[in-house]
């Protein structure tokens, strides 16, 4: 163990070659464990500064509830979707007597790890999180689970951790959007997505690809780009619009990327949607601030936040077992505006 890494019951169990349940009973002085074994485990825990998450534990088993604080990790405050999820979290938590403690990972794994440690030290009763883009190791989440801290993932779920989650129907959202592009005359549709390591990117790409196949259009990998922000979209799009195979439609993983495509296409002399149709994914405020206004998939962030809080409080108060991974899907809807025919 390092100074920065809290000792968990799983670590103690590994040290003694016993189960986590046995460690838990020993730390609670259960007579089911021999006095000698209890003393050894308790001494080891004291020597290594073990601190169980007493807030979460007491919330589950006591009618006299201590301070009820939910930790929330968002990748970035400035993104409309994440801010709308946060609004849903705050509203639902407040209505049920909980407060929230919010931190931004800034899309950085190391910062995310530090936030998890800080939340643990501050004894939050549970954590709602959307993982950072570059998170590929999950030990910090597993340590929280081992310590009895309920986790609920939203939007970007962590496939390496068996935890509760709330996601929008990314696959169907993309499928319906690309189907709309095809049904309004597009034959060559480009896809701009996030890194394929993220589950949401995989699901939206699969929706894009399956819509092509269902409508009898070939999939062409030359039409796909790793691009999920406006700056990159403005840098990458000219190459596609000057190539031999000109796209007549674009589906982007989010609205900012779609607006970058729109700005670039117009700057290069293309008419939207007469020459090129464009569809985004979010339905943020910027979608109605561009000209023409953006056709996009609405993610319903407020609803995602409300569902995440409902699950977390269920875990904390015992109505949803802590070892049950609850999964909820929030349906998307296509909002048709001026960037498609």
**pLDDT tens, residue by residue, 104-142:** 999 999 999 999 999 998 889 999 999 998 888 999 999
Cα separation, 54 vs 30, whole angstroms? 17
Determine what percent of the chain is predicted with pLDDT higher than 90.
72
- CB count, 10 Å around CB of 322? 17
Cα separation, 124 vs 160, whole angstroms? 22
**pLDDT tens, residue by residue, 136-159:** 899 999 999 988 999 999 999 888
Among 52-66, 77-91, 119-133, 262-276, the range with the most confident prediction by mean pLDDT is 262-276
Q: What is the mean pLDDT of the chain?
A: 91
The reported pLDDT for the residue numbered 195 is 86
For residue 297, give the nearest of 242, 338, 236, 253 by alpha carbon.
253
Residue 56 pLDDT exceeds 50: yes
- Could you tell me the sign of the dihedral formed by the alpha carbons of 268, 272, 277, 279, in that order? positive
Q: What does pTM read for this prediction?
A: 0.77
- CB count, 10 Å around CB of 246? 13
For the chain, report the end-to-end CA distance as a whole number of angstroms.
Answer: 59
Angle at 58 between CA 56 and CA 64, to 5 degrees: 130
- DSSP element (H, E) containing 302: helix 301-317
The reported pLDDT for the residue numbered 59 is 54
Residue 64 pLDDT exceeds 60: no
Mean pLDDT in residue range 18-36: 84
Residue 61 pLDDT exceeds 70: no
**pLDDT tens, residue by residue, 283-325:** 999 999 999 999 999 999 999 999 999 999 999 999 999 889 9
Residue 191, classed as helix, strand or coil, is strand
The reported pLDDT for the residue numbered 2 is 44
């Amino acid at each position: 163990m390092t100074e920065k890494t809290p000792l968990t019951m799983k670590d103690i169990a590994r040290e003694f070659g016993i189960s986590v349940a046995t460690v838990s009973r020993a730390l609670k002085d259960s007579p089911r464990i021999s006095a000698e074994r209890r003393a050894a485990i308790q001494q080891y825990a004291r020597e290594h500064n073990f601190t169980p998450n007493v807030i979460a534990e007491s919330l589950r088993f006591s009618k006299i509830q201590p301070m009820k604080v939910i930790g929330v990790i968002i990748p970035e405050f400035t993104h409309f979707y994440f801010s709308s999820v946060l609004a849903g979290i705050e509203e639902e938590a407040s209505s049920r007597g909980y407060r929230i403690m919010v931190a931004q990972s800034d899309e950085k794994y190391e910062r995310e790890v530090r936030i998890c440690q800080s939340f643990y030290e501050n004894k939050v009763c549970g954590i709602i999180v959307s993982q950072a883009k570059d998170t590929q190791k999950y030990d910090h989440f597993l340590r929280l689970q081992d310590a009895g801290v309920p986790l609920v993932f939203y939007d970007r779920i962590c496939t390496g951790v068996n935890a509760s989650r709330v996601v929008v129907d990314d696959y169907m959202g993309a499928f319906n959007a690309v189907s709309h592009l095809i049904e309004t005359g597009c034959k060559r549709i480009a896809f701009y997505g996030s890194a394929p390591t993220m589950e949401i990117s995989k699901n939206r790409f699969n929706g894009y690809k399956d819509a092509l196949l269902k409508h009898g259009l070939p999939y062409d990998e030359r039409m796909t780009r790793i691009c999920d922000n406006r700056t990159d979209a403005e840098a990458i799009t000219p190459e596609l619009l000057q190539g031999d195979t000109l796209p007549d439609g674009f589906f982007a993983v989010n609205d900012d990327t779609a607006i970058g495509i729109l700005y670039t296409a117009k700057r290069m002399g293309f008419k939207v949607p007469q020459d090129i149709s464009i569809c985004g994914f979010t339905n943020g405020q910027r979608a109605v601030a561009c000209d023409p206004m953006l056709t996009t998939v609405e993610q319903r962030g407020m609803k995602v936040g409300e569902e995440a809080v409902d699950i977390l409080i269920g875990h904390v108060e015992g109505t949803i077992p802590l070892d049950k991974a609850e999964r909820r899907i929030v349906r998307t809807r296509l909002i048709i505006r001026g960037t498609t025919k």
